[in-house]
Amino acid sequence: MEKTLDGIKVLDLSRVLAGPWATQLLGDYGADVIKVERPEQGDDTRQWGPPWLGHESAYFLSTNRNKRSVTINLAVRGGQSVVRELASQADILVENFKVGTLARYGLDPADLMAANPRLIVCSISAFGLTGSRAGEPGYDAMIQASGGLMSITGPEGDDGAGPQKVGVAIADIMAGMYAATAILAALRVREKTGVGQLIDVPLYDSQVAWLANQSMNYLVSGQVPERLGTAHPNLVPYQAFRTSDGSVMLAVGNDRQFRACMTCIGCSDLGEDPRYASNSARVENRASLVALIEERLVCERTSHWLELFAKEGVPAGPINDLAEVLTNQHARERGIVRTLDNAAGDAVPIVSNPVAFSQTPVSYEKAPPLLGEHTDEVLQEWLGYSAELISELRKDSAI
């Protein structure tokens, strides 16, 4: 069956997470993704364990399905020549080297695009290709910190815990998502013009861009957003509350839901109380309302409240751990977890792409590759190299 990106060739020179996340999405949509890795070492994340599945780290497995691995030594001329030839055949090149590194290897994106005018190059970096910070390196945690996310993440007030980072490398992941959507947009433009373009995706700028309402709250009010724990700056009640046996997350988004929520907890009069009847009033009187709700919810079990809230259409949910999330009935019904067999004979569990197309299904054809698993295959298929030439390149440590 046809895939969304059938026939699109992607040369993936990225490693760790932001770039690989973008290229994994393109692979899911049917593109032929060639992951270029360092001989013997590979992507940094191949060593980021435990845990391990066979000899592969769980971290690497999480972001490299639907790709073929080719090992090329960019530090030698022969390897650089191979990359230039691969780029001449590619539709898309994704890289996240420190700015200027590819040029030092004789692989300046401008030169690659001059040789292949249809090539779309997506460069992911810490602070972008221009500006005084362009040459600085960056990892997710420092971007979460310097890009503002940590200042609004963590327990409310000064309880000693201080700012917290998100439990996954969300700055990297969101940069990868921005990169993937930008690449798809550039493909659409190329259909009209026949010409590729350079895409600049900085981790820092991406982080700032998706602060969404928090950024706008500051720009409109001039007040610096603070940490609120699980609470929401613009909606009340919208936070976790303790129950007699755990916690429940309430997510009340409008006045009707609020009135229904108050009925569920036996406080229907509060639904019409002028202190709480509108969301703006609830935000203004957050402390007193939260205290009232806390008093009620702590008296019954989580399951009791979830059943009542569900009947009345009040958005609420349990705080599940990952064991529950990945094994519950919804996960089974939706096929959230799948397995793919790799070349080592291991059944690799993967978390499915959440997108479902009615006509061009997501691809689940290739397990994350073993290091250099497809080197000969790709060089023969993309470039027509003979076995003898490949052998010479290997002798010269180019591949």
The residue extents of the domains of the chain are 9-210+329-395, 238-318
pLDDT of residue 160 exceeding 90, the answer is no
Say what the pLDDT of residue 81 is: 97
pLDDT in tens, 235-246: 999 999 999 999
**Tens-place pLDDT, residues 66-121:** 999 999 999 999 999 999 999 999 999 999 999 999 999 999 999 999 999 999 99
Per-residue model confidence as pLDDT tens digits over 245-286: 999 999 999 999 999 999 999 999 999 999 999 999 999 999
For 335-362, the DSSP string reads T-EEEEE-TTS-EEEEEPPS---SSSPP
DSSP strand pairing (198-202 vs 316-317): unpaired
pLDDT category, 157, cuts 50, 70, 90?
Answer: confident
Query: Residue 170, exposed/middle/buried by CB under 10 A (0-12, 13-18, 19+)?
Result: middle
> For the chain, what is the mean pLDDT?
96
User: Is the pLDDT confidence value at 158 over 80?
Assistant: no
* pLDDT (average), residues 367-372: 97
Catalytic residues: 172
Q: How confident is the model at residue 196 (pLDDT cuts 50, 70, 90)?
A: very high
At 2, is the pLDDT very low, low, confident or very high (cuts 50, 70, 90)?
confident
Say yes or no: domain 9-210+329-395 is CATH 3.20.20.80. Answer: no
Report CA-CA distances (Å) from 273 to 4, 5, 231, 277: 53, 55, 22, 6
Structure tokens at 67: 């790709």
Residue 365 banded pLDDT, cuts 50, 70, 90:
very high
Report the b/e string of 53-85 with b at 16+ CB within 10 A.
beebbebbbbbbbbbbbbbbbbebebbbebbbb
Mean pLDDT of 358-387: 96
pLDDT score at 91: 98
pTM above 0.85, yes or no: yes
- Given a contact cutoff of 8 angstroms between Cβ atoms, the answer to whether 271 and 277 are in contact is yes
- pLDDT tens digit string along 312-326? 999 999 999 999 999
pLDDT of residue 50: 96
- Is the pLDDT at 138 greater than 90? The verdict is no
Sign of CA dihedral 121, 122, 126, 132: positive
Check whether 11 has a pLDDT greater than 70.
Answer: yes
- Looking at residue 165, what is its pLDDT? 94
Q: How far apart are the first and last CA of the chain?
A: 34
pLDDT in tens, 286-318: 999 999 999 999 999 999 999 999 999 999 999
What strand order describes the sheet that includes 198-202? 67-71, 32-37, 9-12, 92-95, 120-125, 198-202
Per-residue pLDDT band for 159 (boundaries 50, 70, 90) equals low
Over range 1-8, report the average pLDDT. 91
Task: State the pLDDT at residue 347.
Answer: 97
For range 330-359, the mean pLDDT: 96
CATH of 238-318, one of 3.40.50.620, 3.40.50.10330, 3.20.20.80, 3.30.1540.10: 3.30.1540.10
For residue 5, pLDDT over 90 is answered with yes
When pLDDT is cut at 50, 70 and 90, the band that residue 161 belongs to is confident
